[in-house]
Chains A and B, each alone.
Chain A
Amino acid sequence: MNLFTETIEQVTPNIEEQSSPLDILRCTRCGRDLVSEVVLAGDATCPYCGNLFRQPAYRRIEAIVDSGSFIEIERETEAGDPLSFPGYRTKLEKERAKSKMQEGVVIGKATIKGQRTALAVMDSYFMMGSMGTVVGQKIVILAEFALCNRLPLVIFCASGGARMQEGVLSLMQMSRTTIALARHSAAGLLHVNVLTHPTTGGVTASFAMQGDITLAEPGALIGFAGPRVIEQTMRDKLPEGFQSAEYLDEHGFVDRIVERRDMRETLASLLALHNAGHIETAEQGVRR
């Protein structure tokens, strides 16, 4: 443990680096400080207490898909500034530099234990995974891609909600993603959602809650309104564990809470279960 503390000091030589959320992670459960690079390169789990940290999209993809099978689409799409919102361009540049991502979601196709699937992974390290025109459009493109190729769809959700800086255009992404996924669903194709910390707002009120199967990571905050907003409305403290994955499970909104280490296995078996009946139609439907 001493060794660990020393490492932290070595990694954070100046204040500027310390202020970046990607350098030090304090475990919200056991309170220990951890080196983010080490934790996030693994499965983003606290080595002391097993608490889960938010996992960057590419790390998650690595952990879930068969090695080398992921092919990303629409990687370079960047958000514009459709409302000319004050400070938004600067904010985007900062977020890109900090997270080394172009936007809050990564989409593509992959195999999971040999099962082909379309995959979207949201990244809460990019503007808290908020959904603007690009995130919405990428989900739409992926749903259409999955429909054309008769692929199931797995979406890892992580979002603070609709992106304020793109105003009502962000709100429209709720309608657009809903429609694209409804078309995918109408073709008899599977849509699995994995709700990770945090899944809130406009994403909860659209595609995150439209899957055939809803999985969640332990302890993830999942809700429509954020806890602070509810506290302000109710002028009261919220009960402990409110809006956690476990709370949603109790209230009947989640099918299973899955540990990160079991996620790949769980997804593979779900995909296999739903693929079996569709072998023939799948072959006929392949256009690429």
Chain B
Amino acid sequence: MTAKETKLPKKAAPIAADPAWASVMSARKEDRPQARDYIEKLFHGVFEVRGDQCMGDDEAIVTAVAWFETYPVTIIGQQKGHTLEERMRCNFGMPSPEGYRKSMRALKQAEKFHRPVICLVDTPGAFCGIEAEAKGQGRVIAEHLKAMATVKTPCISIIIGEGGSGGALALSLADRLIMLENSYFSVISPEGAASILFKDSTLAAEAAKNLKLTAGDLKRFGIVDNVIREVDGYSRFHMDDSVEAVRKVIRNALKRLTTLPPDRLVEQRQQKYLNMRWQ
């Protein structure tokens, strides 16, 4: 028997059994609800705001102004796309600097008009291409983080699918962080971790388990405030019950956050993160 043949059955077992890997797979499913699906269900009177007014428009990030019940809100969502054509237009949900600049533009307007911000996080990671680097991908994520750390309006961030590293983190520094049950949030893709640590990217399931990237793990670490149950067979064609749960969490969070004076809100957000210590 060759080495390959002996290895295969060994790997197959933990993949099916491990809940962390199951979450990662579920978060990546093609028919999983994406930002635009949630926008359609949760908000009305949606007006999409496009372009970074500098270089172009990045469809991996959708920004819009809309109504959430009685609140005018700003929406910032990462969109991966369902069909192949849409996925290509959205660069498979990997934002470029243009996308993060557009998002910062939306944050500024939200602050100006005292609109709460709702972020929908779903990206395998920020785009790793030559152009993105040349346009300052690192710089723009750093600026986006700072913008979210200081913006004087309520921010609620919901991880709806993939929370891939810095590209996802940029949109998740918020007053409330919410995760869907089968989303994940990780410092590196399980494949990346496996190829660096185990020198074998096919051991991604094992890496996923060790990275502690599930919604349950993040709740235990105190990073996530709410985890939203997904109904069986959760997909964009079957999402209503969970959307109602998301709606309820947003409504409750807004009720609280909108009563706080902006300076106290920002102070509270900053202290929440400064008080996160694990060592």
Contact = CB atoms under 8 A, between A and B. Distances in A.
Interface of A: 77-80, 82-83, 85-87, 132-134, 137, 140, 162-164, 166-172, 174-176, 178-183, 186, 200-202, 204-210, 222-225, 229-230, 233-234, 238-239, 242-243, 251, 253
A175 B173 contact: yes
- The residue in A80, A137, A176, A181 that gathers the most chain B C-beta atoms within 10 A of its C-beta is A176
Given A224-B126, A242-B133, A208 B187 contact: no
A169 B276 CA distance: 9
B19 interface: no
Contacts of A224: 126, 128, 132-133, 137-138, 141, 166
A166 B278 CA distance: 10
Interface string B130-150: 101111111101110110011
B133 A225 contact: yes
Contacts of B165: 162, 171, 202
A168 B139 contact: no
A269 to B, nearest CB: 25
Contact of B218 (A164, A168, A253): A168
Given A178-B145, A230-B133, A133 B277 contact: yes
Contact of B130 (A140, A174, A239): A239
Contact of B279 (A133, A181, A207): A133
Given A79-B279, A239-B130, A205 B145 contact: yes
Interface of B: 126, 128-130, 132-139, 141-143, 145-146, 149-150, 165-166, 169-170, 172-173, 185-188, 192-193, 196-197, 210-213, 217-218, 221, 223, 270, 273-274, 276-279
Contacts of B276: 172, 176
B224 to A, nearest CB: 10
Nearest to B94: A233
B142 A201 contact: no
A210 B146 contact: yes
B215 to A, nearest CB: 11
A208 B128 contact: no
Contacts of A162: 165-166, 187-188
Contacts of B143: 209-210
Given A167-B187, A202-B166, A204-B142, 17 more contacts: A79-B279, A83-B211, A132-B279, A134-B279, A162-B166, A162-B187, A164-B188, A164-B211, A168-B221, A174-B145, A175-B172, A178-B142, A178-B173, A180-B274, A201-B166, A251-B135, A251-B136
B50 to A, nearest CB: 24
Contacts of B273: 172, 175-176, 179
A244 to B, nearest CB: 11
Of all A-B residue pairs in the complex, the 8 with the closest CB atoms, nearest first, are A204-B138, A224-B138, A225-B128, A209-B142, A205-B141, A224-B137, A133-B279, A209-B139
A234 B187 CA distance: 22
A163 B274 CA distance: 19
Contact of B146 (A170, A178, A229): A178
Contact of A168 (B128, B185, B197, B270): B185
Given A175-B145, A175-B173, A167 B137 contact: no
Nearest to A162: B187
A186 B149 CA distance: 12
- The residue in B146, B223, B278 that gathers the most chain A C-beta atoms within 10 A of its C-beta is B278
B169 A175 contact: yes
Given A134-B279, A168-B186, A224-B138, A233 B210 contact: no
A162 B189 CA distance: 13
Given A224-B132, A239-B130, A83 B145 contact: no
Contacts of A200: 138
A180 B273 CA distance: 9
Contacts of B145: 174-175, 178, 205-206
A171 B193 CA distance: 14
A65 B9 CA distance: 59
B134 A174 contact: no
B169 A171 contact: yes
Contacts of B173: 175, 178-179
6 contacts: A175-B172, A178-B145, A182-B150, A208-B142, A223-B138, A230-B128
B218 A83 contact: no
Given A168-B223, A204-B138, A233 B186 contact: no
Nearest to A134: B279
A211 to B, nearest CB: 10
B31 to A, nearest CB: 25
A238 B130 contact: yes
A131 to B, nearest CB: 10
A200 to B, nearest CB: 8
Contacts of B166: 162, 171, 174, 201-202, 205, 224
A164 B221 contact: no
A200 B137 CA distance: 11
Nearest to B139: A209
Given A77-B279, A238-B130, A178 B139 contact: no
Contacts of B223: 168, 172
